[in-house]
Structure 1
């Protein structure tokens, strides 16, 4: 696990402490977290149930190893764990396309003391552009806005339970130039989060 700083910009008013598990640079990269592709389960893939369950176990092992270290480094008594929602409205996904969030929830519940389940504190109600898809896919309409400052507030609902809490915001992949995560952190602060710490499984090395 590697610490880094998310630097303030047009999307974010303050620097934020971040962590990531490993570099993300494509399937050919050694140690690339390829299980994340299976957890997304996008329409152009046809993963078997076994492969998706295998991917969940790989992610769970990473989370159970990394999250206690983040809690120790933040010097907080507890962290409420939230997850960056997928780009489209939550209602448009099948359960087997929301396995990343489900696995984070499993990890939080298994870790128990020191972690609070806030995985349903952020929900997407309006489609946004899916930024990780490089080419059009047959049968998939990539509608919605490109990232802009305030897109999270405009397209998501935030629980009032965020107010006053120390939040650990988790995403599968952090890409510095996209600003989705920066904007979501800012939205949490606007919604009253006491502090926000960020964690991603993969950190894009070609952005």
Structure 2
């Protein structure tokens, strides 16, 4: 999974367009199956349609090359692949809101201190950084959220801060789903 995440992030613009598309499809298949299982197992998603949102990257979209913004594309594709539909219809049960949180100010990356252009501007993570550097595009009031991130980095608090931001904006609940987590090297 770590190789897929590195390819989809394409931090150093080393992946070809074809590689990124292939990885996008692979990740979307994994996430789609997982989302369907999560929704079927969690009672809060039986009554209210879950809203799937992505933790935003550390910089506004304009700071990235288009090939570095494919994680949200993979999430949207995962939702399209979902087998769960509204009863009596064809509309997907899971709501695609992967772009509802937009980063509007730069923050430092948490997983790497070196990025492709050599710039790592903005503040280090702190409680409230999502509130201070992001905008929410639509109301989440009363909605159950599945918040998706590629990598969970322990002891940094970005995912927790993003979840708190959603709760502060009225989300009824937030479930965090990540594809992987960072591990500390053993000494």
TM-score range, shorter chain: 0.7 to 0.9
TM-score (norm 1): 0.79
Offset at residue 73 of structure 1 (A): 2.1
User: Aligned residues, how many?
Assistant: 174
Question: Higher helix share goes to which structure?
Answer: 2
Offset at residue 203 of structure 1 (A): 2.1
Contact 1:152 1:183 in 2 (8 A): yes
User: Who is 1:13 aligned against?
Assistant: none
Distance 1:138 1:101, change over 3 A: closer
Offset at residue 137 of structure 1 (A): 4.8
Q: Secondary structure at the match of 2:2?
A: coil
Distance 1:60 1:137, change over 3 A: closer
Of residues 136, 144, 162 in structure 1, which corresponds to 2:122?
144
Using the alignment, how far apart are the partners of 1:49 and 1:118 within structure 2? 24
TM-score (norm 2): 0.87
Q: Secondary structure at the match of 2:120?
A: coil
Contact 1:160 1:191 in 2 (8 A): no
Structure 1 unaligned spans of 5+: 1-31
Offset at residue 162 of structure 1 (A): 1.0
Using the alignment, how far apart are the partners of 1:137 and 1:97 within structure 2? 12
Matched, 1:90 2:69: no
Distance 1:117 1:138, change over 3 A: closer
Using the alignment, how far apart are the partners of 2:138 and 2:16 within structure 1? 38
Q: Which runs of 4+ in 1 moved over 4 A?
A: none
Using the alignment, how far apart are the partners of 1:151 and 1:117 within structure 2? 24
- 1 or 2 for the larger relative contact order (CA 8 Å, sep ≥6)? 1
User: Who is 1:171 aligned against?
Assistant: 149
User: Who is 1:63 aligned against?
Assistant: 31
Using the alignment, how far apart are the partners of 2:9 and 2:175 within structure 1? 23
Q: Secondary structure at the match of 1:100?
A: helix
Matched, 1:101 2:80: no
Q: Secondary structure at the match of 1:72?
A: helix
Contact 1:121 1:162 in 2 (8 A): no
User: Who is 2:90 aligned against?
Assistant: none
Structure 2 unaligned spans of 5+: 86-92
